[in-house]
Structure 1
Amino acid sequence: MTRDAPPEVLSSRLGYLLKHAYLRLSEESARALAPYGIDGRELAVLAVLDAHDELSQLEAAGKLGVDRTTMVGLVDALEGKELVERRRSPQDRRKNIVRLTPAGRERLREAEVARQEMERRFLAPLSGSDAALLVRALRSVVSSPSSAPPPSLNPRDQ
């Protein structure tokens, strides 16, 4: 698919650029993960569950930044694919603990390789140091408090 350059009036607008970069990344991610029968959100759930010994659905939802209803849907889908299993917490019977199944661990391993390769291709127009800088900068933006005053984007204000 050919991509037209953004209209000049939009070519320096952060919102426009982030939106279109995200849309392109989403398309490429969906294509890369399709052979594994999961999408990017499901892969994120598998990764978070793998990174922690034991998480309740609610704790996993908090780590992913999704509401509990969305989390139930994600876990239902992954459970239907036999990639995760739920069990009652022995400490608190009101909680569902979610764990990867052996098939879930294997799917995570395979899909992570595909995701990493897709991200490498996505960032290929950048040098290695520029790609690393972009990821660090986005991590800073995402993790900073939203109440911080934004820096000026106008070079004349510097």
Structure 2
Amino acid sequence: MGESCAPAGGVAAAATDTVGATAAEGLAASWPARVRGLAGWLVNKTAVHSHRLTAEAFTAVGGRRFHYALLASLEEFGSSSQADLGRHCGFDRSDVATMVNELVQAGHVERAQDPADRRRNIIAITPAGRSRLADFDVVAADLQDVFLAPLDTEERAELISLLTRVLEHHTALHGFAREPHPGA
């Protein structure tokens, strides 16, 4: 069973709909009435585009989305254990070591044994990591402009506020859902 419920012509066909609907209205109208008004359905369908755009944008500069999250966390919160780094970014602790290895190999972070607890590693951002983070900030800003193109500044802020509120509500009830190790 395929993921898409779009007509055979996809978005292009929806864009030329004879009733004058926009591409988005044509696509949404092709979905069953029971699902097209469900926020969860729309969030999931939108997330597919967000993940694709994010992977493409970071891959184009030789990075990955989790590189950005980890470097941003280290810049904002300072050096931390791998476990804390995973918590700050919402990544599963078991995946963080692999993610950090990539950044260590690139010279963007340093891993050192915690002198207070020899079982822990402390991760610190390097000057090269700070420079890479600045490059990633540009990628992320451009990415947001592409992803949120149909929204004006106020609508973007409102969307972020509403999504944050929903996420915080469910996180308080169920804990933070960890992301699987992201491939890009």
Paired positions, count = 146
Match of 2:143 among 107, 115, 118: 118
Moved more, 33-42 or 4-13: 4-13
Normalising by structure 1, we get a TM-score of: 0.84
Note the C-alpha offset of 1:55: 0.5
Moved more, 7-16 or 99-108: 7-16
Q: Which letter maps to 1:33? A: F
Deviations 1:105-130, CA, capped at 9 Å, x for gaps: 11110011111111022112012211
Match of 1:141 among 140, 160, 166: 166
Give 1:80's aligned residue: 105
Q: Which runs of 4+ in 1 moved over 4 A?
A: none
In 1: Cα distance, 2:85 partner to 2:116 partner: 17
Match of 1:71 among 67, 78, 96: 96
Give 2:7's aligned residue: none
Note the C-alpha offset of 1:86: 0.1
Unaligned 5+ runs, structure 2: 1-9, 15-26, 175-184
Normalising by structure 2, we get a TM-score of: 0.73
What is the Cα-based RMSD across aligned positions, in Å?
1.7
Give 2:55's aligned residue: 30
Answer whether contact 1:86 1:99 (CA < 8 A) is retained.
yes
Aligned identity (percent) is: 29
In 2: Cα distance, 1:25 partner to 1:67 partner: 21
